[in-house]
Amino acid sequence: MKSKVNIAIDGPAGAGKSTVAKKLADKLSYVYIDTGAMYRALTWKAQREKVNYNDEEKLAELLRRMDLKLSNSSAGTNISVDAEDITSEVREPSVTNEVSYVAKHEAIRKQMVAKQQELAAGGGTVMDGRDIGTAVLPDAAVKFFLNATVDERASRRHQEQLVKGMESDLKLLKEEISLRDKLDSEREFAPLKKAPDAMEVDTTSMSIEEVVNYLYDQVRKQADVHE
Ligand code: CDP
Ligand code: CDP
């Protein structure tokens, strides 16, 4: 019988986590769970309701009462809050550059981790984020830490924005990504960190397909996912 395990993918912004996690999940017939989307949704809601990012209790209360839904489409993760589709809004720089200030709070992370663990309870997920291997799924069958140089990650985001017809400034993107890396890895609760048992993959000079195939081979070697 085919056993369905959980796979954790962590790493800094632009390392390719969401693109690769989605493709890996499709290849394994698993469910992809984008935990960054959950923190983005709360940040968007806090902006809309003008909640101060330093007010941990108000943010926690907002998260408790909002109806957050994730669903997968061929293009990625669709996000709704209180039945309003905010899939594209949460990818705007105005949200991206503020998420780390919301995600740093312990009370927020506790609620998010509980929701994420519930989503993965039955196995068969590929979950990506910052603390999946260290805090959300410490018992995941296979853990990856994807990385790439900051220049490569900024250049990937730059290309992505140009293709979408957005204005894009490579130098500014590099500064924003570096600041987010710093905030995410230096925060007190569940910082971005490679789990000791995670496999680090430097994707700087790898194509998306190369990374997906490499991860797929590792999953087949490390976990019993054969038919
Ligand atoms: O796609 P990208 O890597 O740029 O970001 P994301 O995965 O959507 O995550 C956005 C932000 O949410 C991160 O910079 C973290 O501050 C936060 N995050 C987190 O703290 N923990 C997670 N498991 C996922 C995201
Ligand atoms: O989720 P994360 O922030 O780690 O990265 P992503 O959003 O999956 O990838 C950022 C951009 O890099 C996307 O436009 C991907 O298509 C691209 N990418 C790439 O060019 N080469 C890779 N090996 C992985 C991703």
Provide the pLDDT confidence category of residue 1 given band limits of 50, 70 and 90.
Answer: very low
Is a pLDDT exceeding 80 seen at residue 87?
A: yes
Task: Indicate whether residue 180 lines ligand 1 (CB < 6 A).
Answer: yes
Mean pLDDT score, 178-197: 97
- Determine the residue of 17, 18, 39 to mutate for testing ligand 1's pocket, defined as the one with the most ligand atoms within 8 A of the Cβ atom: 39
Ordered domains of the chain (ranges, CATH): 6-204 (3.40.50.300)
pTM: 0.97
ipTM: 0.98
Tokens of 53: 């990012």
Tokens of 10: 């962590």
pLDDT value for 226: 58
- Name the 3-class secondary structure at 125: strand
Q: What distance in angstroms lies between residue 64's CA and the mean position of ligand 1's atoms?
A: 20
Mean pLDDT score, 46-59: 98
| pLDDT above 90 coverage of the chain, percent | 93
